[in-house]
Amino acid sequence: MPIYEFRCKACHHRFERLCPVGESGENLSCPACNTPNPERLLSSFATRGVEGGKGASCTTCKASNCSSCH
Ligand SMILES: [Zn+2]
């Protein structure tokens, strides 16, 4: 299940939620101020993969499971 990051339009509080595929998070509300319909940001899933992804993906062939180029 992918993790999505949301930002409250009212107080700009950022939070993460696990959302089923196809779920846009429109039924979520801010845990800080309870304002509904937070703005969905880019998945932190992908961001983390880039930042801390030692061994997560091959830098040469960009395959997640590299067995061909090393
Ligand atoms: Zn808020």
Please give the DSSP secondary-structure letter assigned to residue 45.
H
Integer Cα distance of 46 and 26 in angstroms = 21
Q: Which residues surround ligand 1, an ion (CB under 5 A)?
A: 8, 10-11, 13, 30, 32-33, 35
CA of 6 to the centre of ligand 1 (A): 10
Integer Cα distance of 56 and 6 in angstroms = 24
How sure is the predictor about 13, in pLDDT bands with cuts at 50, 70 and 90? very high
Answer with the residue of higher pLDDT: 31 or 64: 31
User: Within 13 Å of residue 67, how many CA atoms lie on the same side as its CB?
Assistant: 1
CA of 11 to the centre of ligand 1 (A): 4
Question: Is residue 19 over pLDDT 50?
Answer: yes
